[in-house]
Structures are given as C-alpha cells and as structure tokens.
Chain A
Amino acid sequence: MKLEADRVSFAYGRGSPCLHRVSFAIEAREIAFILGANGSGKTTLLGCLAGTRRPTNGTVVLDGRPLHALAARERAKRIGVVPQLHDPAFPFSVEETVGLGRAPYVGLFSRPSREDRLAVERALDVVGLTALRRRSTMRLSGGERQLVWIARGLAQGASCLLLDEPTAHLDPQHEHALFAVIRRLATDGAAFVVASHHPGSALLYATHVTFLKGGAVLRSGPPEKTITANALRETYGMEFVVVTGQEGERAVVPRICSADPR
C-alpha cells in the first residue's frame, strides 16, 4: 500500500487556497503525523487523502492509480477515515456503528450479510471491544469511541486509516492505550495518518512527521530529526524546548517566560 499526494492544492469554493502544493506519502506499517496550528490545513489534507475532497491542483495516487479514477466504493475499501468529532445523531450500538464500515461491500438494495457480520466481529476483537458490542456509542468514553471508529475502518477492510485529532479529548493513559492499538495494527501492516496538535505524541508514536503551516509543508521527515525547537517555533509561533530524559525518552515542553500572561 502506498498513498501519495503530489503537489496538492485545494481551495473551498472560490476562496483562497487552504492547501498549497503539498506533497506527502505514506506506506504500509508507517504512522505519519501531520502537525500544524489551527487552520493550517490538516483536516483538508486528510479529506484530499481520503478522496472526499478533490484537489484543485495536483494528484493523490493510491498504489499508482489516481484516487479519483477509483470508484467511491473501491476507494472506501482501501482508505478509512476516523473523523475528529463523533457526533452520532442516533444512539447506534458499537456493533451497528462498526457494521456501517461494511457499506462498500453491501449492495444498494441489500443489508449486511453473514460475511459482513463476521468482518465486524473480527474488527471488534482486534481493538478489544467485543464485550461492549451492544452498548450505545453515546455511552462510551472518548477513548472507547476512538476505538469504535478505528474498528469501523478495519471492518471497512482499509489498509490506510486517516485519523483527525484522535486524542483531542483523551487523558494520557487513554492516549497511550489508543496508540498501543495503532502501533500493533501498524506492525501487522496497516498505515496510519494522524492529524494532531500534540508534537509530544508524534515524538513517541510517529514514524514520520510533516509540519504544515498556512497550507504548505514546512518540513517533513523522521520525528527525531524533524521535531526541533526551530520547527515548533515556526509552526506554532511560540517557543518550545525539546527535552531528553535520563532513559532517552523525549518530550516537547512549551517555554513560558515569566513576562508571559499566566
């Protein structure tokens, strides 16, 4: 699996472009973080990579074929999206929500088959949600909800999952638990693109990092080389320190001066 964006630009309607000649690539077993300030184009880039937004310029290519040459169903069998906000209008159960991932395999006038139900069971098993299968997604914790949507992507058969700020509402323990699942799935061959506000998480979990600023790529590469105080200052417009602990663990800490408002 290889998903590539080649000099992709995108504008909403007739507005000014919010992505400008962005190039990006991800392969199987990688966890690629997209970091950037609010409004830097992270979600739009995910939309282009998912094929739900068509670039105004440039191309997105999946395994050598332009994404828009693929039928929507074929695309959905390969790429899954975990949206930023899970705001179900109705209290679907975990099982029903994951079952929606089978949409590309279910005919217009059909309902999920036995094979589809088995795929849902497997996906629930992989993320460890089998025990909660009948619970409403509205009654889950934030971390469990993220796992439900990841399971939906797995039920979809997607080999590449795009996650939009998956840890926005998670405490450190749940964040770590989520990334433990993501790492395990990546080891098994899946690819993950994670749009995030947390450079510290990228240091811990990413295999590749891309910084976006104003819709353009500021820099990209392996996290240990890319996440530097300079890159963070340029991206977020404030000072950071990248610290290394006694056992080599690294963390990003904002540098707050005494003159700054607290």
Chain B
Amino acid sequence: MSSPRRRLLWLLYALPVGIFFATLLMGRYGGGVGDALRALFSTDTSDVLHSLILRVRLPRALAALLVGANLAASGAVLQGLFRNPLVDARILGVSSGAAFGASLAILLSGSALAVQTGAFAFALLAMACVLAIGWRMGAAPLVLLLVGIAVSALFDSLLGLVKVVADPLSKLPSITYWLLGGLSGASWSTLAPLAALSVLGLGFLVLVRWRLNLLTLGDDEAASLGVRVRPLRAAMVVAASVLIAASVSQAGMIGWIGLVVPHVARAWVGPDHARLLPASAALGAAILLALDTVARTALPSEIPLGILTGLLGVPAFLFLLVGYLRARGAAR
C-alpha cells in the first residue's frame, strides 16, 4: 500500500476516537467543556454531570460508534457482494423486517427491551426468508436482490397494517418516532447485546475482508480461483445482516450511512476491501457519532438521527454521483 493511503487510513482510525472524547464533553446539561472535563475526572459520585457523562453520554456515544461502524461496514460488504454500488442495508429486507418487528413490539408492549428484541428477531427472520428462498433459486446476487426487494415489500405492507391498527394518540406517534431513528434510548443495558453482536459480525467480516474482493468478480470467475462461492457469500450476508439487525434494533431506521460512507471511503483508500472495510467502519462510526452529537445538542429538543443522516447523506450522494459521472466521462 502506498504511504499516503496508509496515512489516510490511520487518520480515519483516529477520527472516531477524537470525536468520541470530544462528544463526551458536549451536551445541553451543565456548563462548558471545562465543567465537563472536570466532572469526567471527578471522584465525587454525587456530581450530576459526572453521573450524566458516565451513565448517559458514554453508552450513547459507544452505541453511535457501533451503529455507524456496523451500517457502513455492512454497506461496503453488501455493495461488494452484489457487485453494485447502489446497494445498502435496505436491500435484503433486514431493515423492513426490523421496522415491522419494532412497530409490532410498540403496539403490543412498548418496553424498550421488547422493541429491541422484536426489531432484531424480525430483521433476522426477513434475512432468513431471503436466504432460504434465494438459496433454492441458486443464490446468485441478482436472485438475492430480487427476493430481498420482495421480502422488503412484504414487511413494509405488514408495517402499514400495524400503523393502521395502532392507537393514533399513543402508539402511532411512538412508532413514527422510532422509525425516524435515534439513539436516545441507548443505555448500558441496550449496549451490551449491540456490542456483542457487533464484535462477532465485524470480527468475522474483518477476517474475511480480502476474500470479499474475489466475490466482486462474479460467480464463475471466483470459482475458477478456487473460491467456494455460495457458502462464503451466505456467511457474509448473515454477518452483514446481523450487524444491520443489531444496529436498527438499537437506533431505528438510519438511512444513507450504509450507502454513502463506503463510496467516500472507496474514493479515499481505493476499492480493495482489505482497506475499504475497516476504513468504512471507522468513517461510519465517526460520522454517526458526530451527527448524534448534533442531534442531541443543536436544538432544545432532540432531532431524530435518521433525519440528519438524510440531510447530510442525500447531498453527499449527489455530489459523489456527479464526481463519478465526470470521472467516467474523463476515462472515456
């Protein structure tokens, strides 16, 4: 790897760490950064700001890092697997499954644990449907993509059904708010399953990341290089889906991170997934943490995170698209 790229990669790794320490000191409660810094290292356990940082900001910041890393890394993996730069978390029906599961849990119970569990369970159910049906039809990328669209549409319809029967004064606003995405519900107890699943999923994908390059070649070509295509692809789809499911069940619907961040990372560190996957994860973590800090500090009331990722993601995507088309024009 050339040294400018290596330096850029280290810079990307440092970015979320820097934002992480900065965001712990920022918030609506308390005075300025100086007060927060004092409170962070305070030994007085009755200090409200100290307790706020450790019990609220810290788990929330960690959750933002994990969700950002998961969504961006799974986006990079899915774009590679499907040989399609326009693919993101929504393509496998996982997000739609999660949205339905969370809404159903809000309708029936409303507890945070039930919502997280419901979202996760239905996200995995959606993935299982896509894989089971797609596998029988040969598990080619296009097949999985089409089955994913169908399963997604099915869960979107079921979500519509839940919204219709939900109480418009109590349940429906909760569902709508959840769907807009946010990390206000993050706590140490919700962080634990997210962290465990993230370590598992990201760990596996980081280990096999170089082989993802082989799957971008297409099935026959990869097979001619000695790759057992179907099991490898299935394992990567499962790992990416677990990351998406764990993230959506914690943070609701957060769009655009999985689509745009891998493109930005690809422009910076190149298409080799050995670099692209960790770079995407680091950049996704940094961006989502920065946006979550804005979400909880910019206005007197919290701004849903999904709105912010959209506001940033759409112009970024269009900017990338123009750059891509220009580069193609130049190449010709």
Contact A72 B210 (CB under 8 A): no
Chain B neighbourhood of A72, CB < 8 A: 223, 226-228
Tell me if A80 and B224 are in contact (CB < 8 A).
yes
Report B171-220 residues with CB < 8 Å from chain A CB. Answer: 207-208, 210-211, 213-214, 216-218, 220
| Smallest Cβ-Cβ distance to B84: which chain A residue | A89
* Bound Cα distance A139, B331 (Å): 6
Binding-face segment, B14-22, B115-123, B266-274 = B266-274
Q: In whole angstroms, what is the CA distance A91 to B221 when docked? A: 17
Interface centre among B80, B221, B266 (most CB of A within 10 A): B221
State whether A81 touches B331 (Cβ < 8 A). no
Instruction: Select the stretch in A106-114, A214-222, A223-231, A247-255 that faces chain B.
Output: A106-114
Interface residues of A in 178-213 (CB under 8 A from B): none
Q: Chain A residues near B225 (CB, 8 Å)?
A: 76, 100-101, 103-104, 156
Q: How long is the Cα–Cα vector from A109 to B223 in the complex, in angstroms?
A: 18
Rounded to whole Å, the gap between the CB of B325 and the closest CB of chain A is: 14
Contact A88 B214 (CB under 8 A): no
Q: Is the CB of A52 within 8 A of B223?
A: yes
A72-B227, A83-B221, A96-B272 known; A109-B266 Cβ under 8 A? no
Interface contact B216-A47, CB-CB below 8 Å: no
State whether B271 touches A91 (Cβ < 8 A). yes
Q: Are A103 and B272 in contact (CB under 8 A)?
A: no
Contact A75 B266 (CB under 8 A): no
Contact among B2, B216, B224, B266 with A88 in the assembled complex (CB-CB below 8 Å): B216
Residues from chain B with a CB closer than 8 A to the CB of A134 are 2
The chain A residue with its CB closest to the CB of B228 is: A72
Does the CB pair B270–A93 fall under 8 Å?
yes
| Minimum C-beta distance from B204 to chain A (A) | 9
A103 engages B211 (CB within 8 Å): yes
- Do A89 and B216 touch (CB < 8 A)? yes
Other-chain residue from B2, B210, B271, B331 in contact with A90 (beta carbon distance below 8 A)? B271
Q: Which residues from 264 to 302 on chain B have a C-beta closer than 8 Å to any C-beta of chain A?
A: 266, 270-272, 274
Query: Does A73 reach chain B (CB closer than 8 Å)?
Result: yes
Minimum CB–CB distance for B104 against chain A, Å: 37
Given A47-B220, A76-B224, A90-B266, A96:B84 Cβ within 8 A: no
A23-52 CB contacts (< 8 Å) to partner B? 47, 50-52
- What's the least CB distance linking B331 to chain A, in Å? 6
Q: Report A-chain residues with C-beta under 8 Å of the C-beta of B218.
A: 87
What residues on A are CB-neighbors of B274 within 8 Å?
111
- Chain B min CB distance to A153 (Å): 9
The answer to the question of A127 belonging to the interface, with a C-beta cut-off of 8 Å to chain B, is: no
Give the distance to chain A from B220, nearest Cβ to Cβ, in Å: 5
- B213: chain A residues within 8 A (beta carbon): 92, 96, 100
CB of B262 to closest CB in A, whole Å: 10
Judge whether A109 and B271 touch: CB under 8 Å.
no
Q: Does A138 contact B (CB under 8 A)?
A: yes
Question: Which B residues are CB-close (under 8 A) to A96?
Answer: 213, 270-272
Given contacts A73-B226, A91-B270, A103-B211, 9 further A-B contacts (CB under 8 A): A50-B224, A79-B224, A80-B224, A81-B224, A89-B84, A100-B214, A108-B208, A139-B331, A156-B225
Listed in ascending order, the chain B residues whose CB lies under 8 Å from chain A are 2, 80, 83-85, 207-208, 210-211, 213-214, 216-218, 220-221, 223-228, 266, 270-272, 274, 331
| Subset of 18 A-B contacts with CB under 8 Å | A50-B224, A51-B224, A52-B220, A75-B226, A83-B220, A83-B221, A88-B216, A88-B217, A89-B80, A96-B213, A100-B225, A101-B225, A103-B214, A104-B225, A108-B208, A108-B211, A111-B210, A111-B274
Chain A positions within 8 Å of B, measured between CB atoms, are 47, 50-52, 71-77, 79-81, 83, 87-93, 96, 100-101, 103-104, 106, 108-112, 134, 138-139, 156
